[in-house]
Amino acid sequence: MQTKHKIILHCDVNNFFASCECALNPSLKDLPVAVTGEKSKRNGIVLAKNNLAKSFGVKTGDIIYQAKQKCPDLVCVRPHHDIYEKYSKRIRKIYEEYTDKVEPFGIDECWLDITDTAKFFGTPLEIANILRKRIKEEIGVTISVGISFTKTFAKLGSDMKKPDAVTEIPFSKYKNMVYPLPLGSIIGIGRKLEPKLNKLNIFTLGDLANCDKNLLKTKFGVIGEQLHDKLNGINDDEVAFANDSAQAKSIGNGTTTLVDVKNMQEMKTVVMFLCDEIATRLRKKCVVGSTFQISLRKNDLTWITKSHTIENSTNNSFDIFNTAINLIEKMWDKKTQIRSVRISVSNLCNENSINQLTLFEQKNTQKEKLDKAIDKIRDKYGYMSIKPLITQNKELLNSDALRLDDTDIDE
């Protein structure tokens, strides 16, 4: 009996931020466009660019003046994250017309499992082209689509041909198409892992797929084992349902401060600023988290990172703040000035599932009441309508710093 393979699509919006800006303002469509931070606020880098800007050599991460040297006519626009989120939701609604298994990967990418629903709409290739056409006509942006039998290969397919294209990696051809590619072609193999694999004479995806699995497990633990399986087309993750509240693996944010952080009082201002926003997002998703990761970027542009898991999951801003500050006390020597701070909360679960309190623990209803009151005010008057007093330092922070740094990098 022939094995029935899954049909997975990976849909990636091309140059998402820049494409949204061009859709909002059609006069930009034939111009080189970059979405950038603001130079005066020390986050003046290219966050995204359109294909025309890319053709001049403009890259994500370029400082604005560098990008302008490459492309003197470059049009720089400020980001509008609320609008990008609206575009993202509209696009996902279209995907959900074809399957109830739609799993976001960042704001601009989604996996779709159409194994059980393809028969209603056509062949996988026909469905991919229908989605391309609809997104272009109804939303005003383009997507690249990968089609395969696993999430890993579908994602690879969408990366292979851009923009506005479809690439299919079928089971019968995946080794010929995938194995000659370099290691960095798939998610999971980053700049740190690649040189370690090279030392084992592993330079291509085929080398990794054909390597002894036990050796990879010994050298790299579960990551090596998982990569081996994925490249052999087995044990790939399921696509989550569109309404699965556990989709988000972590919620976090970061900011680059207007001036370097020099002492603990300034650090507390920044941390409270971030923790309050993270807690609000956790509560909106009705989830709590127990694992915290703090990353500090020093003024020499190197990073230090530390994580910690607490016993009781939370979505309260002061709980998150206290945990973050305790971590920072252990990892920061206070002599080195800090340029950027990032905080994330993971190990998430539904807040209603947390009800196992011991005899000596009482649920803090005062905290809950305060959180609900704050959320209610923000829902009515906007997020910035009520903020912790400690965060009111305009010499250190700008009000849109959160949104400027919480981005997914466009390729």
Distance CA(88)–CA(80), nearest Å, equals 13
Task: With beta carbons less than 8 A apart as the criterion, state whether 304 and 339 touch.
Answer: no
Rounded to 5 degrees, φ, ψ at 143 are -130, 155
For every residue of 128-192, DSSP letters joined together read HHHHHHHIIIIIS--EEEEEESSHHHHHHHHHHS-SS-EEEE-GGGHHHHHTTSBGGGSTT--TT
Integer-rounded Cα Rg, in Å, for the chain is: 23
Distance CA(107)–CA(233), nearest Å, equals 26
Amino acid symbol at 4: K
DSSP-derived letter for residue 145 is: E
Distance CA(16)–CA(103), nearest Å, equals 17
Q: What is the dihedral of CA 378, 380, 385, 388, to 10 degrees?
A: -30
Task: With beta carbons less than 8 A apart as the criterion, state whether 256 and 396 touch.
Answer: no
Single out the residue of 2, 138, 17 nearest to residue 79, CA to CA: 17
Rounded to 5 degrees, φ, ψ at 396 are -105, -35
Single out the residue of 267, 400, 395, 361 nearest to residue 321, CA to CA: 267
The token pair that represents 290 in the structure block? 């127990």
Q: Are strands 303-314 and 250-261 parallel, antiparallel or unpaired?
A: unpaired
Q: If DSSP codes are grouped into helix, strand and coil, which group holds residue 351?
A: helix
Task: With beta carbons less than 8 A apart as the criterion, state whether 400 and 407 touch.
Answer: no
Taking phi over 0 as left and psi of -120 to 50 as alpha, with beta for the rest, 180 belongs to: alpha
Distance CA(105)–CA(97), nearest Å, equals 18
Residues annotated as part of the active site: 109
